[in-house]
Structure 1
Amino acid sequence: MDGEIERLIKVWISAIIGLCYCYYLASRIPKGLLRLLSFLPLLFLFLILPLNLSSPTLIGITSFFLVLLGTSKLLLYSFNQGPLALSPPYIVHFISIAFLPIIPKQHPPTNENHKPKWLVPLKVLIFAMIIRVYDFKENLHPNFMLVIYCCHVYLSLELLLIFISVTIRTLFGFEIEPHFNEPYISTSLQDFWGHRWNLMVTLILRPTVYNPIRRMFKSFVGSSCASSAAMLATFLVSGLMHELIYYYLVAGHRGWQLHRLVSGLLVVSFLAITANWLFFPQLLRNGVDTKATEEYASLVEFAKSKFSKQHNYSVLHV
């Protein structure tokens, strides 16, 4: 575990250094394509950093903060949009808003502030009980354990985000958007996905995917079809991001491995390029290819002559 903590520190130091580059240098580039191009090396860095970890918990948190939130907010910031464009002019605020699930509230507080004070301690107690249940999972029904896993995922995210919200409110003094809105009391799938579960992702995907796609298609296919296309694209991007996080979790246990088809193409391409660069020029300059071709032709003629003599000899004796 000591090695894993050391790798985690290196990952986050690398990410913070990258954001310092964005804050002090890249942010001075005019918004638009040029600023986006200046962000591309950092976006690639965010994509590969979680692969340095092996702990499922640390991989999940790091990939969510860096890949899902960090890259999305930087994409918006490329065009001077999103929470980073509205953040206070301090590097600490910039880094915190870029990495953490923080979006300052755009509207007055809702009734979420009037939730019972005993609700959070109750969730902590239930989470502790769930952790204790794992000691007896060999004796419990698999379907019951599936319910435990679902509760574990929700409560771990909920309590982590509550802790972050309280910390941000204490340190910086501003309110942030809620992340969950009691999803266990949802009345429909639309209510669950749109109003109660992981609202931070909804707030990120709307300006980065839904709104641009809708604007782009609206002039061609009309408002209704554009909204449907934008919604489909949003679900597609969300699914790909979730698949990427699943990949990080799996790759952390077996190392960073590409699919055999991809790795095979990369190996063949690398060998072809390096051979054309280092191996073949020496041979071509000295005419080895021509000599080898002539040798093959001579070998064929030699074999044909031998075969012809043997064939004629056999015919004569017959």
Structure 2
Amino acid sequence: MMSFISAWCLVIISLCYTYVVAQLVPKGIRRMILFIPVFLYFFIVPLSLSTIHSIGITAFFICWLANFKLFLFALGRGPLSSNPKPLSLPIFLAVSCLPIKIHLIPKPTTSYSHGGNLLYYTIMVTLLVLMTKVYEYSTKLPEKAILTLYAIHMYLFLELILAATATLVRAMSGLDLEPQFNRPYLATSLQDFWGRRWNLAISGILRPTVYEPMVQLFPFLGANWSRAPAVFSTFVVSGLMHELIFFYLGGLMPDWKIMWFFFINGWFTTLEIAIKKKVNRKWRFSTGISRVLTFRFVMMTSLWMFFPVFKRVKIFEKTLEEYAYAGEIAAEIKKSIIASLL
């Protein structure tokens, strides 16, 4: 806990440094050079932590999101620069290192925005707790069943941690924040799943840092076909960042299965987009069939290449150990409170 607090204190100090630099140095190469020490520290900081939860959260929030946002900020682009007026320091800190994006124009509530739906998140927490009990019988379950549990666990955990982060920032700042997931299980295509439904914080930061610059690199292909290498390149960068995060989590050299997962999904997403342009949307599967095919493809490739890495680095075993340890601490605190009251 102390290493986690110390690391995040240094992160906040580093972000304050970038905020001051931006007030003194105009956007461009000079600002980028002055940000380099922060970039390097943010790539190193997960190595100073020791628990799965602290490493995972810090690697995702700081090593990935903050570095990418600061890279754009150095060039005068991205969520830290897109507002009509400069952000205040507290808002700058929140947007820099948390998976949130501020709405410049209030958007109407949509059917997938659960917002303050307490029942929805209560059900998700209950399912997450029940899953930790199911893991006790993991030795009796087939491997595919365990990997499927990993998939459900990851989605529930990400949904809850990102929603909690957004809720906390909303309560502290009063700002309206975008949802992080848009019911990914209802996706009707790979493009729909990866671009509009799954982890919108990541797709939102990869678009200006990778996709849009790559589109501009291939103007000779035309406005439509220049997007194909841009889409594929976005998946490649995402794969590399996932490999880095799993290196932090497990301390093992990558076996590149996750890279292959994003490589294959990127290839088929690019192919899907090309086919759509070719047929000009004149023919398509029904919504129900499209959802089944999309979900089946994502799950099949996930169980084949993505979730075995969880088992390789023993993420869920370590997670359960941390849950058990946290439960012991909570029990001790409870006993201490009861004893003091008596």
The offset of 1:105, in angstroms, is 2.0
Structure 2 residue 21 is matched with structure 1 residue 20: no
1:313: which partner in 2?
none
1:89: which partner in 2?
87
Tell me if the contact between 1:103 and 1:177 (Cα under 8 Å) persists in the aligned partners.
Answer: yes
Identity %: 40
Q: Aligned to 1:236, what secondary structure does the other structure show?
A: helix
Q: Aligned to 2:179, what secondary structure does the other structure show?
A: coil
- Of 66, 69, 72, the match for 2:65: 69
Q: Distance in 2 between matches of 1:162 and 1:106?
A: 19
1:242: which partner in 2?
242
1:75-108 alpha-carbon deviations (Å, 9 max, x no partner): 1101222221237632211111100011112551
2:313: which partner in 1?
none
Q: Distance in 2 between matches of 1:26 and 1:192?
A: 36
The offset of 1:231, in angstroms, is 1.4
Number of residues of Structure 1 aligned to a counterpart in Structure 2: 250
**Change over 3 Å in CA distance of 1:23–1:114 after alignment to 2:** closer
Trace 1:167-246 onto structure 2 (pairs within 5 A).
167-218=168-219, 220-246=220-246
Q: Aligned to 1:230, what secondary structure does the other structure show?
A: helix
1:30: which partner in 2?
26
Q: Distance in 2 between matches of 1:114 and 1:23?
A: 33
Q: Distance in 2 between matches of 1:25 and 1:134?
A: 49
The offset of 1:26, in angstroms, is 4.2
Tell me if the contact between 1:101 and 1:161 (Cα under 8 Å) persists in the aligned partners.
Answer: yes
1:109: which partner in 2?
108
Q: Distance in 1 between matches of 2:180 and 2:203?
A: 10
Structure 2 length-normalised TM: 0.68
2:329: which partner in 1?
none
Q: Distance in 1 between matches of 2:114 and 2:43?
A: 39
Q: Distance in 2 between matches of 1:64 and 1:174?
A: 22
Structure 1 length-normalised TM: 0.73
**Aligned amino acid, residue 226 of structure 2:** A
Q: Distance in 2 between matches of 1:225 and 1:191?
A: 18
Q: Distance in 2 between matches of 1:188 and 1:137?
A: 32
Q: Aligned to 2:100, what secondary structure does the other structure show?
A: coil
Structure 2 residue 6 is matched with structure 1 residue 10: yes
Q: Distance in 2 between matches of 1:26 and 1:89?
A: 11
Q: Distance in 1 between matches of 2:54 and 2:72?
A: 26
Structure 2, unmatched stretches of 5+, are 255-342
**Change over 3 Å in CA distance of 1:153–1:54 after alignment to 2:** same
Trace 1:40-55 onto structure 2 (pairs within 5 A).
40-55=36-51
Q: Distance in 1 between matches of 2:71 and 2:205?
A: 10
CA RMSD of aligned residues (A): 2.2
Q: Aligned to 1:222, what secondary structure does the other structure show?
A: helix
Tell me if the contact between 2:113 and 2:179 (Cα under 8 Å) persists in the aligned partners.
Answer: no
1:12-49 alpha-carbon deviations (Å, 9 max, x no partner): 11111111111123442110111111111100110011
Q: Distance in 2 between matches of 1:113 and 1:138?
A: 38
The offset of 1:216, in angstroms, is 2.9
**Aligned amino acid, residue 241 of structure 1:** M
The offset of 1:190, in angstroms, is 2.5
1:133: which partner in 2?
134
Structure 1, unmatched stretches of 5+, are 259-318
Tell me if the contact between 1:210 and 1:231 (Cα under 8 Å) persists in the aligned partners.
Answer: yes
Tell me if the contact between 2:43 and 2:63 (Cα under 8 Å) persists in the aligned partners.
Answer: yes
**Structure with more of its chain in helix, by fraction:** 1
Q: Distance in 1 between matches of 2:180 and 2:212?
A: 21
The offset of 1:158, in angstroms, is 0.4
Tell me if the contact between 1:83 and 1:97 (Cα under 8 Å) persists in the aligned partners.
Answer: yes
Q: Distance in 2 between matches of 1:106 and 1:12?
A: 28
**Change over 3 Å in CA distance of 1:170–1:88 after alignment to 2:** farther
Structure 2 residue 98 is matched with structure 1 residue 100: yes
Q: Distance in 1 between matches of 2:224 and 2:196?
A: 22
Q: Aligned to 2:180, what secondary structure does the other structure show?
A: coil
Q: Aligned to 2:218, what secondary structure does the other structure show?
A: helix
